[in-house]
Amino acid sequence: MAFPATFTFLICCIYVPCVLSIAKPNFVIMLMDDMGWGDLGVYGHPAKETPHLDNMAQEGMLMPDFYSANPLCSPSRAALMSGRLPIRNGFYTTNAHARNAYTPQIIAGGIPDSEILLPELLQKAGYRNKIIGKWHLGQQEKYHPLKHGFDEWFGAPNCHFGPYDNKKTPNIPVYKNYNMTGRLYEDFKIKRDGESNLTQLYITEATEFITKQAKSEQPFFLYWAVDATHGPIYASKKFLGTSRRGLYGDAVRELDSGVGIILDTLKRLGLDSNTLVFFSSDNGAATYSKQHGGSNGPFLCGKETTFEGGMREPSIAWWPGKIQAGTVNHQLGSLMDLYTTFVSLAGLSVPQDRVVDGIDLSQSLFQQTLIDRPIFYYRGNELMAVRHGSFKAHLWTWANSHAEYRNGKGVDFCPGQEIENMTVHDQEDHTAKPLLFNLDSDPGERWAIGHNSANYKTVMPVIQDLVDKHHAEMVRGEPQLNYCDNSLMNWSPPGCAALGRCLKAPKSNLHKCTWPH
């Protein structure tokens, strides 16, 4: 007997995935740079200057227990893109123990070809991928985003430090896809008072891309990697002087307005019901900037450290109709999870030939089922701490060196915060008897649980098993951040000849990079 077409379709839907009947969802990652957990109104900042983010949380899900994979830009972003801890993907150094390393423009390494990045997988599923803003996975051409799965790029390969003299150090190029379109400070101004229209350009690039994709009906992945809250902090003229918090607050307000504009664009084009937007930050606020930087709320220290202030991120998930509005989800999450979750929602599987640290958060986002999993906190080549459930165990503690701290007169990663055995200036090894904290009752990591308490004796063996298993199964990637070379800086980026903007590179001086903390 012949089944009616609709009945056959239904049977197909039950037994095989309805690939053709369901449009693939779009993905947007809004990744802030050095923005802290406590910078958003909805996360408790008293300035209450983030109405669009607060509204995004109202329409979506607040995720207060969400982490970056590292307390520094480059390793955090490499983990986000690869779904794997920096210790696996190579974004660490072995030049010294437990040192934070990144990709300044003298770095010789970058994201290895062997890593399969999120956009590479999404490209296979028919997506068009765009990165706007900071890449930070290597400035050499072979490491560029368009060599690793992105179709479009507007932004810079490195941090926006400068201005440089183009003799000892070149100004950082800004790319439009494969080729440079100018340089920071020369063609894309960042003035001494912090005025720059870069965030406005990044907002326009985003809305134009989304509008183009809406017309084409091709699914897209937008990685909005804006960097106005990373030093040197900047904001456009319209926002300068408008915050109660000073220049940092001006930058936050402008980014917040950008979030509103992008979400409105999605709504206006009818894409909101089919787009998962995730807002977060690459690492904690730079507490060493004191009143000139961001806020990590109740958490200890900030950027560069594996205390909560270094890695817990202000995170919001948004997908109207799919993620229940106005919810708070205490799932322990990681930016690496976006890799696995997006790949799964796109109908693909993560690579099976390697360990992927990110987990599929779909059931947590859509059904609010908590998934049991640990969070590993690395600093360089060392596993510093592990969180499981409410508890966090510190295996190693360190703020920064005495040489850098200079008795409080130098660089201070924990200003105004001093916790015994924690915010120390010699690296302390606690692996034999880890320091244990309950982050639900003690989010500031101030009161260690007694080694002889019943709580310690119950919790610590569970975490120790996780640590032992993690170490036993670990396959470390070849470290990418050991060597530096001045000849590898952005002297002659692709496209410089057409603009008449190539600079003369010095002789190669390959040497071990120095990572002070």
Distance of closest approach, residue 131 Cβ to Ca ion, in angstroms: 15
Using the contact rule CB under 5 A, the part of the chain among 73-81, 112-120, 366-374, 485-493 near Ca ion is: 73-81
Min CB(34)–Ca ion separation in Å? 4
> Which of 12, 13, 97, 136 is flagged as catalytic?
136
From 25-33, 43-51, 331-339, 497-505, span contacting Ca ion (CB under 5 A): 25-33
Residue 61 or 73: which CB sits closer to Ca ion? 73
Cβ proximity to Ca ion, 26 vs 229, nearer residue: 229
* Three-state secondary structure string covering 380-398: CCEEEEEEECCEEEECEEC
| Given 82, 105, 283, 362, the residue binding Ca ion (CB under 5 A) | 283
The dihedral formed by the CA atoms of 163, 166, 172 and 178, expressed in degrees to the nearest 10:
150
User: Of all residues in this chain, which one has the CB nearest to Ca ion in the complex?
Assistant: 73
CB atoms within 10 A of CB 74: 30
| For Ca ion, the closer CB: 156 or 359 | 156
Least Å distance, CB 189 to Ca ion, is 22
Our CB check for Ca ion shows the closer of 314 and 434 to be: 314
Cα 229 to Cα 143, 289, 312, 442: the distances in Å are: 25, 11, 16, 28
- Identify whether 13 is a catalytic site residue: no
Residue type, 192: R
Decide whether 229 or 397 has the Cβ nearer to Ca ion. 229
Q: Is 227 in the site for Ca ion (CB under 5 A)?
A: no
Q: Which stretch binds Ca ion (CB under 5 A): 29-37, 239-247, 251-259, 434-442?
A: 29-37
In angstroms, the CA 42 to CA 58 distance is: 9
The least distance separating Ca ion from the CB of residue 102, rounded to whole angstroms, comes to: 9
Using CB under 5 A, which of 26, 28, 31, 33 touches Ca ion? 33
The phi and psi torsions of 406 (rounded to 5 degrees) equal 45, 55
For 17, counting Cβ atoms within 10 Å of its Cβ (0-12 exposed, 13-18 middle, 19+ buried), the class is exposed
Minimum distance, C-beta of residue 103 to Ca ion, in the bound complex (Å): 12
> CB under 5 A: which stretch of 40-48, 69-77, 178-186, 407-415 binds Ca ion?
69-77
For Ca ion, the closer of residues 100 and 417 by Cβ is 100
Among the listed residues 269, 368, 273, the one whose alpha carbon sits nearest the alpha carbon of residue 320: 273
Tell me the closest approach of the beta carbon of residue 417 to Ca ion, in angstroms.
20
Strand (E) or helix (H) holding 327? strand 327-328
Count, residues near Ca ion per rule CB under 5 A: 5
Catalytic residue among 45, 52, 73, 430: 73
Question: Which residue is listed with tokens 């400035």?
Answer: 139
Whole-number CA gyration radius for the chain:
23
Q: Applying CB under 5 A, which of residues 56, 57, 61, 73 lies at the interface with Ca ion?
A: 73
Residue 219 has which token pair? 């699914």
Compute the Cα dihedral for 91, 95, 100, 104 and give only its sign.
negative
Active site residue 73: yes
Say if residues 27 and 81 touch (Cβ distance below 8 Å). Answer: no
Q: How far is the CB of 403 from Ca ion (least distance, A)?
A: 24
Instruction: Let me know: does 70 contact 344? Beta carbons within 8 Å.
Output: no
- Name every residue whose Cβ is closer than 8 Å to that of residue 320 and which is 6 or more positions away in sequence: 59, 60, 272, 273
Nearer to Ca ion, 34 or 360 (CB): 34
Residues contributing to the site for Ca ion (CB under 5 A): 33-34, 73, 282-283
* Residues designated as active site: 73, 136
